[in-house]
Structure 1
Amino acid sequence: MRLFIAEKPELGRAIAEAIGNGQKDGGCIRCGNGDVVTWCFGHLLTLTDPEDHDPNAKQWSMESLPLRWPVEHKPIGDKESQIKLIQKLAGQASEIVHAGDPDDEGQLLVDEVLDYIGNNKPVRRILINDLNKKIVQKALANLRDNSEFFGLYQSALARSVSDQVYGYNLTRAYTLAGRAAGATQVLSVGRVQTPILGLVVRRDRAHESHSAHNYYDLMARFAGDGGAFTAKHRPADGAPVDDKGRVLDETYAANLVQAVKGQPATVTSANTEEKEAAAPLPYNLLNLQADASRKFGFSPDKTLKLTQSLREKHRLITYNRSDCEYLSDEQHDDAPAVLAAIAQTAPVLAKAAQSGDPAIKSRAFNSKNVSAHHAIIPTENTADLAKLSDDEGKLYLLIARAYIAQFWPKHAYRETTIDLEVSGYAFRTTSRVTTLEGWKKLYARDTDNDEVHQDDADSTDNLEWVTTSTTLTCEDATSEKKQTKPPARYTMATLLKDLARVAKYVTDPKIRQLLLAKDQEKKGEHGGIGTPATRSAIIEQLMKRGFIAEQSKKVISTELGREFHDLLPESATAPDMTALWHEQQEQIKAGQMTMQQFVDGVAEHIAQEIERIKTEGVKVTAAVGPECPTCGNGSLQRRKGKSGFFWGCSAYPDCKATFPDKRGKPDFNAKKKEAPAPSSEHLCPKCSKGLIRRAGKKKGSYWWGCSGFPACDFRAFDNKGKPEVKE
């Protein structure tokens, strides 16, 4: 019997279907040929913590740092039963087939389970990045020996262990040093978390330190027998311009205006081309999070959770943590069924889906560009959109529209580019005339969508009447004085986009190239940090720690975030560490370095940094909260509750004082809600104390409870403002 261990249940079901005649049996499927398919639910195991090996490690102390502990795993709380099932089935098997996702994390996820259960059976490897039955059957016919992927497993394990050791030690070191200086907050450090903070801090400072300078926007209006149009000046070499080609000199601008007004113009070139624009690719998680933030104000974490529900609860979309925007060639055959499912699920898109042509094969269908996963698209399952939450529905419609667009014609247009010369000065204009709206009709209302509108032309006038022999006169010219703008502060959408391409901000050519090399096989990533599965949680953590905040749709660094950033070495706040680790991980894959050598090197760096912290200490005035006005003993700390941030006393539970959060500071002037007074008319039938009418969870609903709670737990329904008390 072969035992297939898939990374996720849906992959397990796809493998069982490809083998054939499967019967569900608890946490596995028994196939007609005797094979058994079981699965993980993502990671079933987590690395042990230092206190699992030494109970004293629970007590944070600078003397105990740096911490080192054995590389071992333990079951994640609610997943132990599945591990036991896998162990039992592995004992009955003659051969194991590792069916983790075809990437380093997928290799790690199943290999760590096999090591944990002490497997000694031979292990084969199957590589599947698409649940299409034909693709799975093809993969089943091409099993490989799992030993070929040992280096990949060790590389992923090295990163996982080093991330934990790095985060545990430096977070404790900075937090303890901060406490010695009077700080009350946790000062967390992470290989990905801290460079994200660095991105936000540097962007804020670039925005604030920007020194504006004037430039001149030079336009001219040209007229001829066929009509009139405007064109923009194109400065020649040697003209007084900045690095973006903008004219800086006022005298130059004034002279140009005077020189060209009323003068004849020569058309040096006039070209019209037939062009097409392909539809935007289907979503990966990052682009979906960015669009959901731009359109609906959703946080990355909220989008991740909503897509998890769409996938697991409603089964309406495919794998939601994908970093890929492409689909396999085989998935093109599924188009009629998927389009029909969209039409049935979302009536608002029914006409668009029915208008799609399943015969159209867009650039999205390219198996060579599919990585460990394919793009996020709707499944063939259907549901009643009205029964989804409003937010789930919004995301489903976004995902569905992007899929439908793949089956609409390309947007077609004629583009005319005209170059002119007048009095020695050059001008150019570009116009577009739409010949077929195509997929753009689906995005007509998406006016702030950069991917759709970033290449729009200067005008939509038809300028095909202009030729090199056309007689034109410069009727007028203008010089508009403008000021350069600072780099825009991050929004959640632009921050997410930058996390996939941080290499562009790296000045060291070696580091930049290493980051780019890391993502060379990922079409949606261009030298990024973090993964689609982790970025949202890391941003959420930075906000929870009070290092960054979102104000008026801008993501900004807080005073604490900046102060902490400045305490840290550049190696922590830049993406260099991810790049250098990647270089060494490649050596592990090639057998040129061991996992332990990698971890030992990271530990040595940590030990040096901790020694520096012990010697120099830290100054974190922003982390010292204001004194609690209620007790005078504790300090106020910013915390996150169910309804957002608030400030609570560090002396809790002795002091239970809380204050609302107002722009990152405690609001001492906020009016406190007065507790409703007990009724003198309606008394509790159990203890005779007054009943209190309270608001229910649903808007406009009420219920009655005893004012003697918790000693008396009597409750009653509300009936037109009175409690329903049975005689």
Structure 2
Amino acid sequence: MRLFIAEKPDLAKAIVQGLGGGSRKDGYYDCGEDYVTWCFGHMLQLLDPEDYDERYKNWCMDDLPMSHIPWRKKPGGDDRSQDQLKTITGLLKKAASVVHADDPDEEGQLLVDEILEYTGCRLPVKRILINNNTTAAVRKALAAMRDNAEFAGLSAAAEARSVGDQLYGYNLTRAYTLAARSKGYQGLMSVGRVQTPILGLVVRRTRAFNAHTKACYYNVTGQFDVQGVTFPGRYQVAENDPVDEKGRLVDERHAKGVAEAARDRPARIVSAVTRSKEQHPPLPYSLLKLQTDASRKYGFKPDQTKDITQALRERHKLITYNRSDCEYLSDELHPEAPAVLAAIGKTAPVLAPAAQRGDPAIRSRAFNSAKVSAHHGIIPTETTADLANLSDGEQKIYLLIARAYIAQFWPQHLYDQTDVVVEAGGHRFALRANITTQPGWRVLYKNDAGNDDLDGDEGAVAIDVRSLQDGQAGSCTGAVAEKQETKPPPLYTMATLLSDLTRVAKYIRDERLRKLLLEKDKGKEGEHGGIGTPATRDSIIATLFDRLYLIEQGKNIVPTKTAEDFYDALPDQAKFPDMTALWHEQQKAIQAGERDTLSFVTELMGYVAGEVDRVKEQGLAIQVDLHPCPTCTKPLLRLRKKGTQDFFWGCSGFGGGCKYACEDKAGKPVPKTALEVSAQHKCGACERGLARRPNPKKKGAFWWSCSGYPECKQTYPDRKGQPDYSKAKTAA
């Protein structure tokens, strides 16, 4: 019996169909001579420090660095995942051979390999590579299986990254946190190979914004009339013009002189060239691109968008795999177009006319198997539903995904592009003009303001100047020099931060490391030297917000003071993307068999140990704002309200009897307003004054309590601003 092990149930089902069918059992399919089972993502996880030694439950600087080599793993996930692992283990005992059927990438390779190692499996193992769940694609892959040993390097590289991330994060997080707490800091100084560079991006961008000093430059624009065609032209900087580093005029007198020289002078067309152009529709969505658009259009947080796509895929079966980092589609998916377009029309009537106008015979650039990675782009399935039964967020995300798919079957956007150079008064001016000849797919996006996919050539205007020809004469009817002010780099929004995470290589100062990071994403559409993955970026950003390193000011994302202090205390290697680039270089060597995982981890621990020693010796240069308890002066602690994401502040002297607590606002305690004790209204039980309190459960309502609480627990309802003595109660 061959045992196929797939990453997810839907892939297992596709394999069953490719094998000719089978019967569903508890946790697997019986296909006669073959059994097919599945995982739920990673079924195993690395042991935590306290699993190796109980003393690590308590954080202590003397115990650092922690170095559990060799590392071990344990079953992870929920009960469902652990039960499925038992099913796989039982099937392995019955099998004669195994077929590794996970995603064709590093993590996918590790996911099954680590199960085989954990269970001590010594059976022959084949590898099937499937990145498209259609029956035809699965059958093609079944006929081209390879020896799993060929892919050992992928698994080893993923293992090295996983172990490295754990040891790096655990050790440095504890070291920095303990050093900060020695100065009175109460939170967690969380460090991660991806998390900390993301924080660094936001800190540096915010500081550049705040430190920006305005400077002036000048744009000279001429207005021209040539053979009855009127158009503007932008002055083209000439040699020896006074310009800044971006080639902009910086001398007001010179700029006005150019305008005056050209104004009301004869003009001549130096060149006029018209070319027919075509614009492809936007590619289908990857998760990151979808998160970016959902943030820009609807203000959705990245993790919110991921959760919505998870529901659309698993609960409603309306979209394909939702965590893809790819925007392309396999060639085998093209024949499914008529059925998918029809399903979109039934599910979303608002898109039915557009889906019906789509031509399934059109094969857009999106259909390119050579550019598909472990998964193809996110597209609708042939499953239908009633859009009205989906949540508002599910409707919005489904419509985005569906529109992008429909666009693949609409005609190209065609336009004529005309580049004009005109001369007047000894100076040259230029214009680029675009005129649409066939709107094509852009009709679907006509109301989508701010969409980068719609942006044409920067500065191009919609003026028809196609009739202009070289040598034609006319005049410059006007020219002005306009003063402009330089602008700082804009603060991050969620959409622009997500976008920047795909191209952080441009922020690496070491040229060799920058090239390494770019090489990592070679051939990936939408990734140009990025950090993190589409499946993890949203949770990492959410963590930075949860730990109050980042906050939102309107739509902008900025760091807190604690985050900036923490950033300043870190070494450059931690707060820039350099670590990811260095690891990529070493993981390439692991993939090629030129080094092993153990040597990588051992070398990394040398760096970690050195950084821990530095922190032990030098401490952490961080300023901490302590908030004393107004009752007993002991420090207040910021605590999370049970079962919520909200915080409050409580006295650290709670164990000694101080019960002071107050609300939280932007990470700071909001002092309680002192109760005003009435001199007129006395407690009927002890004769002390009563205090009128607002009812937290009902706006505008009040109640009265004894100022002698907690010794006296007498309370009274409020009646027109007076205590109602007839309804006195003793609080529990």
TM-score (norm: length of structure 2): 0.90
Tell me, yes or no, if the aligned pair for 1:544 and 1:640 is still in contact at 8 Å.
no
Confirm or deny that 1:42 pairs with 2:38: no
C-alpha displacement of 1:479: 0.9
Tell me, yes or no, if the aligned pair for 1:265 and 1:422 is still in contact at 8 Å.
yes
C-alpha displacement of 1:469: 3.5
Tell me, yes or no, if the aligned pair for 1:256 and 1:425 is still in contact at 8 Å.
yes
Confirm or deny that 1:56 pairs with 2:38: no
CA distance in 2, matches of 1:477, 1:521: 46
C-alpha displacement of 1:383: 0.9
Tell me, yes or no, if the aligned pair for 2:650 and 2:662 is still in contact at 8 Å.
no
C-alpha displacement of 1:664: 4.4
In structure 2, the partner of 1:700 is none
Please give the secondary structure, in 2, of the residue aligned with 1:621.
Answer: coil
CA distance in 1, matches of 2:653, 2:300: 32
Deviations 1:259-318 (A, max 9, x none): 011100110001111111110111101111111110111111111111111111111111
CA distance in 2, matches of 1:419, 1:342: 47
Aligned partner letter, 2:578:
D
In structure 1, the partner of 2:115 is 113
Please give the secondary structure, in 2, of the residue aligned with 1:417.
Answer: strand
CA distance in 2, matches of 1:354, 1:673: 58
CA distance in 1, matches of 2:338, 2:641: 46
Confirm or deny that 1:18 pairs with 2:40: no
CA distance in 2, matches of 1:220, 1:273: 24
CA distance in 2, matches of 1:536, 1:652: 37
Please give the secondary structure, in 1, of the residue aligned with 2:4.
Answer: strand
Counterpart selection for 1:560 from 550, 559, 562 = 562
Distance 1:41 1:56, change over 3 A: same
CA distance in 2, matches of 1:19, 1:709: 74
Q: How does 1:281-430 map onto structure 2 within 5 Å?
A: 281-430=283-432
**Greater Cα offset, 572-581 or 514-523:** 514-523
In structure 2, the partner of 1:695 is none
CA distance in 1, matches of 2:480, 2:642: 56
CA distance in 1, matches of 2:456, 2:51: 54
In structure 2, the partner of 1:702 is none
**Greater Cα offset, 274-283 or 238-247:** 238-247
Tell me, yes or no, if the aligned pair for 2:694 and 2:702 is still in contact at 8 Å.
no
Please give the secondary structure, in 2, of the residue aligned with 1:380.
Answer: coil
Confirm or deny that 1:674 pairs with 2:696: yes
Aligned partner letter, 2:27:
G
CA distance in 1, matches of 2:269, 2:730: 87
CA distance in 2, matches of 1:388, 1:290: 22
Aligned partner letter, 2:52:
H
Aligned partner letter, 1:4:
F
In structure 2, the partner of 1:67 is 66
Q: How does 1:629-648 map onto structure 2 within 5 Å?
A: 629=630, 632-637=633-638, 639=640, 645-648=646-649
Aligned partner letter, 1:80:
Q
CA distance in 1, matches of 2:554, 2:644: 18
Tell me, yes or no, if the aligned pair for 2:263 and 2:478 is still in contact at 8 Å.
yes
Please give the secondary structure, in 2, of the residue aligned with 1:198.
Answer: helix
Confirm or deny that 1:442 pairs with 2:464: no
In structure 1, the partner of 2:601 is 599
Aligned partner letter, 1:615:
E
Distance 1:386 1:178, change over 3 A: same
In structure 1, the partner of 2:139 is 137
Counterpart selection for 2:83 from 81, 84, 92 = 81
In structure 2, the partner of 1:616 is 618
Distance 1:564 1:84, change over 3 A: same
Tell me, yes or no, if the aligned pair for 1:221 and 1:229 is still in contact at 8 Å.
yes
Aligned partner letter, 1:24:
R
Please give the secondary structure, in 1, of the residue aligned with 2:33.
Answer: coil
C-alpha displacement of 1:92: 0.7
> Share of identical aligned residues, percent?
52
CA distance in 1, matches of 2:325, 2:147: 27
In structure 2, the partner of 1:627 is 628
CA distance in 1, matches of 2:225, 2:666: 55
Please give the secondary structure, in 2, of the residue aligned with 1:327.
Answer: coil
Q: How does 1:704-715 map onto structure 2 within 5 Å?
A: none
Unaligned runs of 5+ in 2: 674-692, 704-714, 718-727
TM-score (norm: length of structure 1): 0.91
Aligned partner letter, 1:65:
L
Tell me, yes or no, if the aligned pair for 1:184 and 1:625 is still in contact at 8 Å.
no
**Greater Cα offset, 74-83 or 313-322:** 74-83
In structure 2, the partner of 1:3 is 3
C-alpha displacement of 1:330: 1.0
CA distance in 2, matches of 1:353, 1:302: 27
Confirm or deny that 1:229 pairs with 2:231: yes
In structure 1, the partner of 2:573 is 571
CA distance in 1, matches of 2:611, 2:574: 10
Aligned partner letter, 1:633:
K
C-alpha displacement of 1:320: 0.8
Distance 1:215 1:499, change over 3 A: same
Tell me, yes or no, if the aligned pair for 2:651 and 2:660 is still in contact at 8 Å.
no
Q: How does 1:265-284 map onto structure 2 within 5 Å?
A: 265-284=267-286
Deviations 1:528-555 (A, max 9, x none): 1111111101101111111111211111
Tell me, yes or no, if the aligned pair for 1:260 and 1:422 is still in contact at 8 Å.
yes
CA distance in 2, matches of 1:38, 1:134: 20
Question: What is the root-mean-square deviation in Å for CA atoms of aligned residues?
Answer: 2.4
CA distance in 2, matches of 1:327, 1:564: 43
Deviations 1:36-71 (A, max 9, x none): 110001111110011112111101101111112241
CA distance in 1, matches of 2:66, 2:651: 27
